[in-house]
Amino acid sequence: MKKRVIFAFILGFVLALVFFHLFKKEKTKGGVTSFNNHFEPPYYEKKVFKLPKELEKKASVSATLKIPIIMYHYVEYIKDVEDLIKKRLDINPDLFEGHLKALKEASYKTYFVREIPDILEGKIEYSSRSAVLTFDDGYKDFYTIVFPLLKKYQMKATIYVIANFIGKPGFMNEKEIKEVLDSGLIELGSHTLDHLYLKLIPQTVARKQIFESKKILEEKFKVKVETFAYPYGAFSKKTVDLVKEAGYKAAVSVIPSMIQSKENLFYLSRVRPGIFTPKTMIKVIESYKN
């Protein structure tokens, strides 16, 4: 009997060590959560991808349009194989170029997120062969890997930069952001000051994150910052109201869909690049129905 108790105790201890080790790796290695010490939900927390209850409507009143907005994060060859968060948010540069090639070969046109309100109003010509490319967080690899490829294929993209992370290790610096904006191929959007979980923080803090990031980016880069991305895809009705009040024209969420309308202008749906291979990309987009 005594032996069993000792054995169970040792087994429990070993399991606890293993779990602690795994958990620690997930939390502290690179990626989005490691530089944010305010609130760290798992990045792909399922529940934040749904529309908050208070924003649900019974029936849609405005027309819908299929506008695939693809949500990229890292595009690089990851050296640290244990970096699980980064791995989950990454696609490799070959695959990314495959996406651009597939879009180009099928004569797809790319748009900025800031053009979506006018597309939905019918003010901008829009063909069904269109896509919007977005890149969250402002990582260095956007400058070193993504931007040269966008130039090569002459495709537009919207970047969502975290104002206080500009120039930090792993992130683009001011000079690099200026250079990508000068190309005319890139829209600059805000992703707050510090990548906070807006849904759960005090309203005064959320307001500052949403308003001041816009102001700082506009002053630094002398461009209008017209669209916003919610860190972790987390927002509430109050967050949406703040984003509208700050003067943004649209915002992107991580609710997975390709269907957009005037009603979801402040929580536009996006899809993850992992759902496409270069071969299937066009087929997946064209056969997509909500």
The residues binding Zn ion (CB under 5 A) are 136-137, 231
- Minimum Å distance from CB 188 to Zn ion? 15
* Between 137 and 187, CB nearer to Zn ion: 137
- Minimum Å distance from CB 130 to Zn ion? 24
Residue 140 and residue 171 in contact, taking contact as beta carbons nearer than 8 Å: yes
d(CA 32, CA 137) in angstroms, rounded, equals: 8
- Minimum Å distance from CB 1 to Zn ion? 54
d(CA 71, CA 180) in angstroms, rounded, equals: 18
d(CA 149, CA 186) in angstroms, rounded, equals: 12
- Minimum Å distance from CB 171 to Zn ion? 11
- Minimum Å distance from CB 232 to Zn ion? 7
* Between 126 and 267, CB nearer to Zn ion: 267
* Between 120 and 162, CB nearer to Zn ion: 162
* Between 68 and 231, CB nearer to Zn ion: 231
> 3-state class of 253 per DSSP?
strand
| Tokens standing for residue 125 | 């010509």
d(CA 116, CA 249) in angstroms, rounded, equals: 9
* Between 126 and 230, CB nearer to Zn ion: 230
Return the number of other C-beta atoms located less than 10 Å from residue 130's C-beta.
Answer: 19
Q: Report the residue closest to Zn ion, judged by CB.
A: 136
Sign of CA dihedral 120, 123, 128, 130: negative
